Amino acid sequence: MLLRSFLLFLLIFALALQFDVAAARKSNNDKNSKGGRNSKGGRNSNSKNDRKKDKDKPCRDASECRLYRKSDFCMNPSMSHLWKKCPKKCGYC
User: Any idea where the domains of the chain sit in the sequence?
Assistant: 59-93
The model's pLDDT over 52-81, given as tens digits with 9 standing for 90+, comes to 555 555 555 555 555 555 556 566 666 666
Look at the pTM and tell me if it is higher than 0.85.
Answer: no
- What's the pLDDT at 2? 87
Residues 89 and 81 sit within 8 Å (Cβ to Cβ)? no
Is it the case that residue 7 has pLDDT exceeding 60? Answer: yes
Residue 93's pLDDT is: 40
Question: pLDDT for 13-57, tens place per residue?
Answer: 888 888 777 777 776 666 555 555 544 444 555 555 555 555 555
Burial 58-89 (b: 16+ CB within 10 A, else e): ebebeeebeeeeeeebbeeeebeebbbbbbeb
Report helix, strand or coil for 26: helix
